Amino acid sequence: MRVGLTGGIASGKSTVSAMLRELGAIVIDADQLARDVVAKGTPGLAQVVDVFGPGVLTEAGEMDRPAVGAIVFADESKRRALEAIIHPLVGARSAELAREAGPGAVVVHDIPLLVETGQAELFDAVIVVDVPEDVQVERMLRDRGWAEDDSRARIAAQATRDARRAAATYVIENTGTREDLRLRVAEVFGDVLQRGS
């Protein structure tokens, strides 16, 4: 079973991902792969420098993520240019890891921009972690120390809640307690296992 997992920023998708892993899913984290494919010394980082210039490197020769973030979230064409470098590299590595999982495994692809990149159809099921926008903003202010304008800009750069929900096989609402969330994740995982058998 190939399952896509997505959700807006600060929706709790990483928490759900960890719970699915605890239940026995093999989780492939696109965010982690996105960091790996532009790590120091990789061809991916060389491509980023070719497009954005050496100013996006730290003194240690690594990608300066805050600097790149400031560039791409202020200019959609630059964001698309970065995605054109990273997404194919992440896709190739993700496919490689899925092949290594073997038959019978539930492989969850944790992809923040699953809907934005038109990948929903690639999966047997899509799980969307969902919260209202005000909850996202409140969490970014509290947990990340971001300004409200920055938080809303990040939300606006992602797919709408309606677009994500429309792509969902399962929606996991994450506005209750952690135990509520754990129960819903276990329910969804059980259903996914049944679908795959």
Tens of pLDDT, residue by residue over 38-54, are 999 999 999 999 999 99
pLDDT bracket for residue 186 (50, 70, 90): very high
The domains found in the chain, sorted by start residue, are 1-25+106-197 (3.40.50.300), 37-96 (no CATH)
Per-residue pLDDT reduced to its tens digit, 101-146: 878 889 999 998 899 989 999 999 999 999 999 999 999 999 999 9
Residue 14 known to bind ligand:
yes
Residue 12 known to bind ligand:
yes
Distance CA 28, CA 97 (A): 7
The per-residue pLDDT for 103 is 80
Residue 25 known to bind ligand:
no
Residue 10 known to bind ligand:
yes
Q: What is the pTM of this model?
A: 0.82
Residue 156 known to bind ligand:
no
pLDDT bracket for residue 165 (50, 70, 90): very high
The per-residue pLDDT for 21 is 96
The mean of the pLDDT values for the chain is 94
